[in-house]
Amino acid sequence: MEILPSPGILFTILMFVAMISPLVFIHEMGHYLAGRMFNTAVDSFSIGFGREIFGWTNRRGERWKVGWLPLGGYVKFTGDANAASMPQEAARVDPAEKPFLFAFKPFWQRAIIVAAGPFVNFAAAILIFATFIAIYGQSYTSPVVSNIVTGSAADRAGLAPGDRILKVDGKAIERFEDIIGIVMINPGTPVSVDFERAGAVRNIVLTPHLIEEKDRFGKTFTIPRIGLIGQERGVIERGPVESLWYGTEAVFDTTGMMVEGLVQIVTGRRSMKELGGPLKIAEVSGQAGTMGIEAFVNLMALVSINLGFINLLPIPMLDGGHLAIYAAEAVRRKPIPPRVQEWAFMTGFALLISFMLIVTWNDLASFGVFKHVAGLIG
């Protein structure tokens, strides 16, 4: 494989902004449009944080602006104390304005407005995957084994050419590509494999090996392998409806892998060192940019899924935290006390800062920054 030169810093920054800005825009636009659907007043719509670079005020008095730090964005609804939708004290609110304020909307309307952001991110990924499938077709490799890597986990477990893989880790296998996705999420973890041989269904348990490989930019990474070699890959043409169906399926499968990966990290089965942050996204954005528009847009779909998934985590300050509060309101049949909400959001802020520190540390470590510093000190 030809080793490609790493993209420059300026190109990487430009690709990162080109990757993140549209995804943040559509996420916040989901919140905004859902809010407008319920006649909710808006103060500002921002792409990026920090000081405003440029902006304008529309005829409804809404301030649309771009901040200098392109790591997120927000819609600030009128009556909210901050961009995280913490409401002002009710005593400070003009009664005439209450019907138009987000904080005083029925909880189900607030839930729809909050969920609209992540929903749009998932929808965008579906459309991207569906478009690729409609244009290029869907790759398909029969789940029948054509060969086995000598000495691999599959070889030691007794799998042989001609075996048809039926299930891996309890998940049905329709094509060889399904096996790859399941193995990737189970590095070093035993997985159950159901296969058919000569009309009889059998079961084995094998553990994927972690092997080192290099990507197109010469960077070393580890990847799990079980040693199965599939048959020749083909392409199945899909119509518009089928493409949409399989695009949706791809998003569900990818989200499921994210959920499983998070569970593995929380339970200690995987290291937190595998988590990446903005610097890692910037790096892969630059790399994808050098590989062409198709690779870049495909990565954008994956990042969009990641953005939607993370925002649905039940952490205060994130969309999922708001939804958790609204669910509690529905159960209690009355609002959560403001003091409780305030403490919840403070806790959520602390969690997010901790998470950002961890992933930034991981990013810097993956770039060899700490080894370089240690070398300078030593």
Cα–Cα distance, 339 to 224 (Å, whole number): 48
Is 28 considered catalytic here? yes
Tokens of 129: 């995957």
Catalytic pick from 28, 89, 174, 237? 28
Say if CB 300 and CB 22 are below 8 A apart: yes
Sheet strands (E) in 159-291:
164-168, 171-172, 191-197, 200-206, 209-214, 220-225, 228-229, 234-236
Ramachandran angles phi, psi of 140, nearest 5°:
-145, 125
Burial (CB < 10 A; 0-12, 13-18, 19+), residue 334, is: exposed
Residue 310's closest CA among 340, 344, 350, 277?
277
Residue 4's closest CA among 216, 173, 184?
216
Ramachandran angles phi, psi of 290, nearest 5°:
-75, -15
Catalytically annotated residues: 28
